[in-house]
Amino acid sequence: MRLVLVGPPGAGKGTQAQYIASNLSIPKISTGDIFRANVSGGTDLGKLAKTYMDRGDLVPDEVTIAMVRDRLSEDDAQDGFLLDGFPRNVAQAEILRDMLKDWGQALDVVLELVVEDDEVVRRLAGRRTCSQCGRIWHVEFDDKKDDRCDACGGALFQRDDDKEETVRHRLEVYQEQTAPLVSYYADEGILVGVDATGPVEEITQRAMEAIQPFMG
């Protein structure tokens, strides 16, 4: 099965990607993993990407696409894959479609994790990071009564990108970039949405049931 996972920041894509890919026995391929592998492996694409990253610039689409192409051409992805973090916009979706078409392949389904904005803010703005061990706690879900890490006693702080105004801005950017992508796949007839609130296991079960009709 060839599957793309989309959803706003804080929807739990990383967690669900892992479980769904494991259930389907296909590799989970995220752009973050691809970048890290290329940079740490010192590949030509990794070196090129690093020049942009070191300057604090966004890595151009063509470099990202070349990395994705390389990864999808590896042996373990020939019978299927789960893509997380790519494509991010309609232009990338069209490039992915053409890339797969060249290989005689096509996407089977695009799974959208649906979460209300206020729930995303609740999840992300409630996170606190330990200044010593880096562990993440949640003021609500972990029932934190103080600002100390239960594991090492380090002081907890809120990362800038977890602050409410930043989270809401990230959601606006997501809507601008990804809402057209969701519409694009809906028009293709391969989009399915699942409610991504509740226990992790329940969301995975919903996801597996939703993609069942698209499985060959």
How far apart CA 9 and CA 120 sit, in angstroms, is 7
How far apart CA 187 and CA 58 sit, in angstroms, is 29
Q: Tell me if residue 159 is catalytic.
A: yes
Which candidate in 88, 97, 135, 144 is catalytic? 88
Which candidate in 69, 135, 144, 170 is catalytic? 170
User: Torsions phi, psi of 138, nearest 5?
Assistant: -125, 130
Which candidate in 2, 28, 123, 127 is catalytic? 127
Let me know: does 11 contact 196? Beta carbons within 8 Å: yes
Q: Tell me if residue 36 is catalytic.
A: no
Which candidate in 2, 13, 28, 206 is catalytic? 13
Residue the block writes with tokens 């649906």:
114
Residue the block writes with tokens 């226990």:
199
Residues 6+ apart with CB under 8 A from 18: 28
Q: List the beta bridge partners of residue 33.
A: none
Q: Tell me if residue 13 is catalytic.
A: yes
The stretches of 117-163 forming alpha helices (DSSP H) are 117-125
Which candidate in 36, 47, 159, 163 is catalytic? 159
Active site residues: 13, 88, 127, 159, 170
